[in-house]
Structure 1
Amino acid sequence: MVEVTAAWDDRTESSTVARSVYVTGIDRGDGRQAVELGVMELLTRQVDRVGVFRPLVHVPDGGGPGSDHVVELLRGRYRLDLPASELYGLTYDEAAALQAARGQDELVSALVDRFHQLERRCQAVLVLGTDFSETNIPDELAFNARLANEFGAGVLPVVGGRHEDPAAVVAEVRNAHRAYRDLGCSILAMVANRVRPGAKQQVQRTLGEKLPVPVYVIPEEPALAAPTVAQLVEATGATVLLGDAAGLSRDVRNFVFGGAMLPTFLDALTEGALVVTPGDRADLVVGALAAHAAGSPPIAGVLLTLGQHPGPNVMALASRLAPGTPVAEVAEGSWLTAAALTHLEGRIGPNSPRKAEIALGLFELHVDTAELTSRIELSRSERVTPMMFEHALLERARADRRHIVLPEGTEDRVLRAAEVLLRRNICDLTLLGEPDAVHRRVAALGIEFPQAGDEGAQVRIVDPAASPLRQQFAELYAKARAHKGMTVERALDVVTDVSYFGTLMVREGIADGMVSGAVHSTAATIRPAFEVIKTSPGAAIVSSVFFMCLADKVLVYGDCAVNPDPDAQQLADIAIQSAETAAQFGVEPRVAMLSYSTGTSGTGADVDKVRKATELVRELRPDLLVEGPIQYDAAVDAYVAATKLPGSAVAGRATVLVFPDLNTGNNTYKAVQRSAGAIAVGPVLQGLNKPVNDLSRGALVEDIVNTVAITAIQSQTAVETDTPAAGGAQ
């Protein structure tokens, strides 16, 4: 028990940290899912066995076992290895019947038993309170308070502030705090959610003066309130005629009902609109999709009414005009369709990963996550799971926000990753490419970047060919490559290449780092860095590592991507760089210099190279724990190590594994990745004067996000040498 005492309004209140968190509210429409997602993120950063529990769940319309879209989102996103049946208590119908037959005490007892069955298997549990929606529970607030107390969970009440003036929001939060406090709850903090952006500061200031617990004010985010095309299709029972998954995930920001002639109709179109029009209006269908293809404006999709759609020739043209853009059909007329759509709101669920990222970014921007974490009684796990490592990367990058340039500004995966990076406030970005082309891809993908003036990370789009920096960069490049005969005239063409332009931005301090390679080759990514950024002081070569995230630990593999056959001196340099990179990312370096022989058991040129490299590491860095030559099994398995190298400080517990050549390293990392189910993060380049990192051309969106976060962290501690800063990007 930790007692925290503070004075507000001449009162004091004791606050208890708790191992489980009960997120609840006072009414519908509070947008609580964003807070639940944010709290789950906090819990999974600290421990690896987190559960989620919904005491009461609605029975779906089709009957059968109950399920909940938020529970399923959390279960999938955070890879909860728990049976779905253990994450729920009872259905509302079962609860009502039990309470009617035996009273509320019996109902609560049954739910407590279900909760403890789950809690015994977890280090922390997130409890999702009732939803105040057709629940038939008298005094629902008191019911949630009682469950939280019986579960021994700290309470995080969420109060919705949508459409409310600041005074009303303040009053509701104070009333909710008083109600849960008077019912004996341990209140971790209060959240005012969906507050009008212009009222946020006033609400925050007023509540901070009046409540004895932390208060977090989260503004309304239109992108969360907007339903997706897929949700509208589900709500109306529409049949999808055209469109892909990306198109169906677009947000619908408003509706345009087509009935006018084409010129008037086109003037009414707005960005993100869903066009609703009778299915026999082929002119409006083609016109709307043509406008989308031209980017003026990009629409969400088209919904055809009256059970009709244009003929095959028009539909074939529609599919070519705007590939991926949804076109769906309903049987009802426009009036009934409009009635079904009017009050539909966005929902965060397993099929809306974009909304989950937006919600997390909003939570992390407006909630003091370190403060809230400190009020939850968790001891950080000694195990480091892949998810915990990824969370740590994002958290460290966000703590000291940097500016990263992405040369492949029209690549779909890069744009999706950019939205995540910006929404999660991980770094500022520059995307390179022709602005109209970038905006068209953004519109086609249905993603949305923060607007200028918004809080948090920002993005700018730069066309190297049209940038005022082109002349400056050409002169710099010509000077740097004069010994190769480079002239300013030729350099003017070279620097329009996005890889060279991005590298020069890093060279001049306009960006802190660069990530490329989703569509460009490794050579195209790192050659400019070799030419203008050069190696860092003390580094003989540029090399790479992979972070291999196993089930319970993170290992560092080097070099698996750059140097084909390093000699002993180069191998020693790779080992030292890899140890420094490991330490930079929280992995205690214990270096194993790998070979097909352990200790003195073998001879030959390959073994001798590793032995000499090990001796060089010990001479250059006597502070490092290093062992070699050593076989892989002796490096990572304590039982094998006890036989082959007893008494070694590294054998059996190595964390940095240095391979003798690229052939061995590349094949080993891929074998471990595929056979052991490890997550490989990298390659991460090391030895450059400023951070530039290469992507695999098969990189997934999450790979790009992780690599950008790593690059940002590298730039936080990069050694600045011979790289004078220039002005901001233009």
Structure 2
Amino acid sequence: MSRKIMLIPVGSSVGLTTVSMGLVRAIEEQGIKLNFFKPVAQPRRGDKGEERSTAIIAHHASVTPITPFTLDYVERMISNDNTDELLEDIIERFENNSEQDAVTVIEGLVTTRHHPYAERLNLEISRALDADIVFVAVPGNDDTVDINHRLEIVVDTYGGHKSRKVVGCIFNKVNAPFDEHGRLRADIGVVDKPEHDEARSAALKNLPIFKKGLSLLGNVDWSAELVSPRAIDVAKHLNATSLNEGDMAKRRLSSVTFCGREIHNMTHALKPGALLVLSGDRSDVFVSCCLAALNGTKLGALLLTGGYEPDENIAALCSQAMETGLPVMLVNTNTWQTAQNLHTFNQEVPVDDSQRIEKVMVHTAESLDAEWVTSLTDKVSRQRKLSPSAFRYYLTNRARQVNKRIVLPEGNEPRTVVAASICASRGLARPVLLGDDTEIRRIAEQQGVVLSDGVEILSPEQVRGEYVEGLVALRGHKGVTDVVANELLQDNVTLGTMMLQQDHVDGLVSGAVNTTANTIRPALQLIKTAESASLVSSVFFMLLPDQVLVYGDCAINPDPNAQQLADIAIQSATSAQMFGIEPRVAMISYSTGTSGAGSDVEKVREATAIAQSMRPDLLIDGPLQYDAAAIESVGKSKAPNSPVAGKANVFVFPDLNTGNTTYKAVQRSFDLVCIGPMLQGMRKPVNDLSRGALVDDIVFTIALTAIQAKGNS
């Protein structure tokens, strides 16, 4: 059975693409088959290339969208009175390119002065495709009477309340900063984020139209973070020259300040994410901004106007500030003209801004009614593969449920501070930052985050003495005395490990600064392996575009013997199950089946037999070459009777050299998100980070550590 949901905008500028992205993500997270179709491309001003919604879904979801018809073709068909033929073409394209037994998200057209036919064409397309209707509206500054009136009119257009095809409404941009004329403010990064208006939200939920049968399917709050562009986006819009590239492709702009005052009157504007616009000959302001950057404040960018480049002596003086990644750009227009140009900046998310797109999709998906989204999956086929979106959803949803306390020994590391703030705000964990309170809060301010009460800051000096006795009891046989224990506990990783050993926290995440050895050694000495485990190993979760694979062991054991390799296979399968992946384990070798010989192949063959005898309930097979394990056609050819070949999702490598090389080659070649290494076989969860970890990597590692803690309890 298939379901078709068509999103119909009620008015213009409702953020239809945003809602489409969120609905696609919410359905993806259910792990079911999915189609996306925007029947008619509707390019915005300045758009080139692919249709925006279709391109975003193609690049950021595990679905291949159906190609839309061009606007020129559609308008030509309508003007020639060939609408019926156009609808037949739309149906034919949908039927020929859609997956059967799936949920389909269909995005309608927005009515504008250039496209006055959109409302009528939406109605005809919805009927032609037999789609259920979900309206997308923006409350704006209108009172509830006017909002209800608008919805009543559009519901009547689609058959009224008695129509079984009219399902509900999603409100977008709730509590957004509208001006007195009811228009969304166009300035980049509104400085003062509007407070969430509970009374307003409650009034929207109680509109008379919802008592007549129309359902409220989502309230998507406006978020300043989700409209913050990158510095490079503004540079492209203004056709600016780059004087210092820095982190232009990454820095986010959350506010704009025009620097025309004396510097002592504008120090408050030197804050993270600020776009500071100044005449290029204002050396005093330029130097002050560079000083702020040197002090650790991540300004968004400097925009110099008037075509004035900084004096070469000033540039030399500020060269170290440039090395912090501060973007500096130059325009030839004066400050007033530049302000006018900034006012016309298009705040829609660019197709190539992956980080912002991901945040928009997650935020919108979480704002939709969960029961309604789940109802869409009734009698619809599940995907055989677990998609990256479904995996991330599983991680975050399970982490919220278990609500574990996770210690972060690198408490003054900037990425870790930001990740702790995110985890606390999203309810993924109760993070504990080890470090000085004043320093950590200063770093948080520099990173532009506010640490809520959900983030606990613990001073090592205040608690170190509590763990001396316990450490001596554990390591006294190795010559550890009170004095030695106190010295060992100067290391925050050791201190955090003792907190975990004493059950004062549920898990530990480190490695953004410390080496793998520094993270793991205290755990091996103090936590030890679980009773059921003969060794500690690791897995990586490889988030391929269409599925999640588990790789083990790629970080710990250099050359495991057959018994150890069998244990790694079973541990990796258990980890896969813990995170919602039904394991099909391939024991990787350079030979498939009985086609090859040699000590390395024999080790894998023996390990496979041991693992199968230990866990006959698991699908484990080997030896298998990687292509035979991963590619269905190759698997059928090389191992036709294997229950795993061509369908493997857990790959167990014969040694560390093979595993580490393979995971890095796959990750770097395809620019994949890779979560791990996650340690297996410990009594309590300790996980290591890559020293190049991004904030999102740390967030997901904290989440999976929390889930591990629940599994170990």
Task: Tell me if both proteins adopt one fold, taking TM over 0.5 as the criterion.
Answer: yes
Listed as ranges, the matches of 1:134-533 within 5 Å are: 134-138=113-117, 140-164=118-142, 169=147, 172-173=150-151, 176-182=154-160, 186-196=165-175, 197-199=196-198, 201-203=201-203, 205-207=205-207, 209=211, 211-246=213-248, 249-253=251-255, 255-267=256-268, 272-294=273-295, 299-321=299-321, 323-342=324-343, 344=345, 346-369=347-370, 371-375=372-376, 378-384=380-386, 389-390=391-392, 392-398=394-400, 400-408=402-410, 426-432=428-434, 449=449, 452=452, 459-460=455-456, 462=457, 464-465=459-460, 468-533=462-527
CA distance in 2, matches of 1:389, 1:524: 29
Matches of 1:270 and 1:473, distance apart in 2: 39
1:408-431 deviation digits (Å, cap 9, x = unpaired):
456676577667767766445445
8 Å CA contact 1:397–1:426 kept in 2: the answer is: yes
Select which of 17, 20, 30 maps to 2:14.
30
Q: Are residue 126 (structure 1) and residue 109 (structure 2) matched?
A: no
Asked whether the equivalents of residues 56 and 89 of structure 1 are also in contact (C-alpha less than 8 Å), the reply is yes
Give the AA of the match of 1:471.
Answer: G
User: After superposition, where does 1:541-580 map in structure 2 within 5 Å?
Assistant: 541-547=535-541, 556-567=550-561, 570-580=564-574
CA offsets, 1:163-198, max 9 Å, x none? 445665555556555544539572444211222221
Which amino acid in the other structure matches residue 531 of structure 2?
A: P
Could you list the runs of 5+ residues in structure 2 that have no partner in the other structure?
Answer: 176-195
Residue deviations 1:582-627 (CA, integer Å, cap 9, x gap) = 3323444566667789999999987887787667657755655666
Tell me: CA distance 1:198–1:433, structure 2 relative to 1, closer, same or farther (3 Å): same
CA shift at 1:709, angstroms? 3.9
Give the AA of the match of 1:355: R
Residue 59 of structure 2: aligned partner: 76
Stretch of structure 1 that moved more, 336-345 or 320-329: 336-345
Q: Would the alpha carbon gap of residues 423 and 325 (structure 1) be closer, same or farther in structure 2, given more than 3 Å must change?
A: farther
User: In structure 1, which of residues 529, 538, 549 is the aligned counterpart of residue 532 of structure 2?
Assistant: 538
Question: Match of 2:354, as an amino acid?
Answer: P
- Offset of 1:26 from its aligned partner? 1.1
Superposed, which structure 2 residues align to 1:640-679 within 5 Å?
658=652, 661-663=655-657, 665-666=659-660
**How far apart in 1 are the matches of 2:637 and 2:97?**
42
Using the TM superposition, give the Cα deviation of residue 477 of structure 1 relative to its aligned residue in structure 2, in angstroms. Answer: 3.0
Q: CA deviation at 1:34?
A: 3.0
Displacement of 1:128: 2.7
Return 535-544 or 392-401, whichever deviates more: 392-401
Distance 2:591 2:250 in 1: 56
Opposite residue 77 of structure 1, the aligned amino acid is H
> How far 1:217 sits from its partner (Å)?
1.5
AA partner of residue 5 (structure 2): V
CA root-mean-square deviation:
4.5
Contact 1:282/1:310 (CA < 8 Å) preserved in 2? yes
The answer to whether the Cα contact below 8 Å between 1:464 and 1:498 also exists between their aligned partners in 2 is no
Aligned partners of 1:579 and 1:705: how far apart in 2? 23
Asked if the contact 1:96–1:136 (Cα under 8 Å) also holds between the matched residues in 2, the reply is no
3-state secondary structure, aligned to 2:360:
helix
Is the contact made by 1:30 and 1:161 (CA closer than 8 Å) also made in structure 2?
no
Instruction: Identify the residue that residue 58 of structure 1 maps to in structure 2.
Output: 43
Q: Against the structure 1 CA distance between its residues 262 and 148, is the aligned structure 2 distance closer, same or farther, given a 3 Å change threshold?
A: same
Larger displacement relative to structure 2 (33-42 or 230-239): 230-239
Q: d(CA) in 2 for partners of 1:234 and 1:599?
A: 56
- Whether contact under 8 Å (1:597, 1:631) holds in the other structure is yes
Equivalent residues of 2:566, 2:607 under 8 A apart: yes
Please give the per-residue CA displacement for 1:280-328, whole angstroms capped at 9, x wherever unaligned: 1111121233234435x75432222222232122234344225322322
Question: Using the alignment, how far apart are the partners of 1:696 and 1:217 within structure 2?
Answer: 37
Task: Check whether the contact 2:251–2:301 (CA below 8 A) recurs between aligned residues.
Answer: no
TM-fit CA distance, 1:21: 3.1
Q: Residues 308, 653 of structure 1: CA spacing in aligned structure 2 closer, same or farther, 3 A cutoff?
A: closer
Q: Which shows bigger deviation, 427-436 or 348-357?
A: 427-436
User: 2: distance between equivalents of 1:375 and 1:395?
Assistant: 19
Q: Distance in 2 between matches of 1:338 and 1:579?
A: 58
> What pairs up with 1:582-601 in 2 under 5 angstroms?
582-589=576-583
Structure 1 residue 526: Cα displacement? 1.0
Q: Is the 2:62–2:545 contact (alpha carbons within 8 Å) kept by the matching residues of 1?
A: no
User: Could you give the per-residue CA deviations for residues 103-147 of structure 1, whole angstroms, max 9, x where no partner exists?
Assistant: 654554554455455436995543332234443314x43432332
Deviation at 1:88, TM superposition (A): 2.7
1:89 aligns with 2:90: no
Q: Partner letter of residue 718 of structure 1? A: N
CA contact (8 A) 2:34 2:99 kept: no
Aligned residue in 2 for 1:688: 682
**C-alpha displacement of 1:580:** 2.4
Q: Given the alignment, which residue of 65, 76, 81 partners 1:102? A: 81
| Distance of aligned partners of 1:145 and 1:202 in 2 relative to their CA distance in 1, 3 Å threshold | same
Amino acid in the other structure paired with 1:160: V
Q: Cα–Cα, structure 1 residues 217 and 644, in superposed 2: closer, same or farther, change >3 Å?
A: closer
Residues 402-411 or 533-542, more deviating = 402-411
